[in-house]
Amino acid sequence: MTVRIIIMCKAPMAGAVKTRLMSSYSADQAAQLHMAMASTVIKRAKRLFDSVVIAADDIEHPFFNRFELPLLAQGEGDLGQRMQKQMQYAFSDGASAVLLLGTDSPHMDDERLLNAVEGLQTSDVVIGPVEDGGYDLLAFSKLYTLFDGVEWSSGQVLAQTLSNIHQQGFTEILLPFIFDVDFPEDIERAIEHGWKVTLP
C-alpha cells in the first residue's frame, strides 16, 4: 500500500500562528514554538514514511525549504476544503491511501502514526482524536468526502466528522485520545510526554 502523508502546515508568521500561546509568550516566541512543533512532526513523518508532502499556506516561505520535501499550496477555502483538495491530488497522483496530519501534536509517538496506517487494512477511515473535540490525524483508504457541515475550530469537529462517516456507511477506527498543543500549559505537558524542545 502506497500511503501518502500530507502534513498541513502554516508558515511561521509572528502573530498569525499559535496565538493562544501568546498569553505567556510573545508573538515571535509563539512563532518559534510553531516552527519547533512543525519541525518535529515533519521530521518524524519523513523518518517513518517514504511518501511525505507538506501542504503549506505559503509555499514561498523559506521555513519549508529545510525539509527537502515536495511542497504543495493548500489552496483556498476552509480547512475541510483544503484537506479535500490535497486528498484529491494525492489519490490522482497514485497514492493508494492518504494520511492527513497536523502539526499540533509534536509529542505524538511513532506507534500512533504506524497504527493509523495499519488500521486502513481493516477500516475505511482512521481518526486520531484529541481532547478538545478535534483530531490530530485522519487516514483514508479511498477518496471520501467527510467534511461537509463540519464547524472547524469548534469542539464538535470529531463528532460531526463521525456523523458524516456513519451517514455514508463507512467504517472507522478511533485511536486513543491524546491532546494537542494549544495553550501554554500544553507545552510543558508535551515535554512531559517526550517532546524534546528548547523553549524560547
**pLDDT value at residue 94:** 94
Q: What is 3-192's CATH superfamily? A: Spore Coat Polysaccharide Biosynthesis Protein SpsA; Chain A (3.90.550.10)
DSSP code of residue 126: E
pLDDT of residue 1: 76
Alpha-carbon distance 119 to 123, whole Å? 6
Which pLDDT value is given to residue 62? 97
pLDDT tens-digit profile, the chain (200 residues): 789 999 999 999 999 999 999 999 999 999 999 999 999 999 999 999 999 999 999 999 999 999 999 999 999 999 999 999 999 999 999 999 999 999 999 999 999 999 999 999 999 999 999 999 999 999 999 999 999 999 999 999 999 999 999 999 999 999 999 999 999 999 999 999 999 999 98
Distance (Å, whole) CA 90 – CA 3: 9
The CA distance from 135 to 153, in Å, is 11
pLDDT at residue 178 in the model: 97
Whole-angstrom distance, CA of residue 130 vs CA of residue 88: 25
Tell me the pairing of strands 125-129 and 135-140: antiparallel
pTM of the model: 0.96
What pLDDT, on a 0 to 100 scale, did the predictor assign at position 111? Answer: 98
Domain boundaries, the chain: 3-192
For residue 200, what pLDDT is reported? Answer: 86
Backbone φ/ψ region at 198: left (φ over 0), alpha (ψ -120 to 50), beta: beta
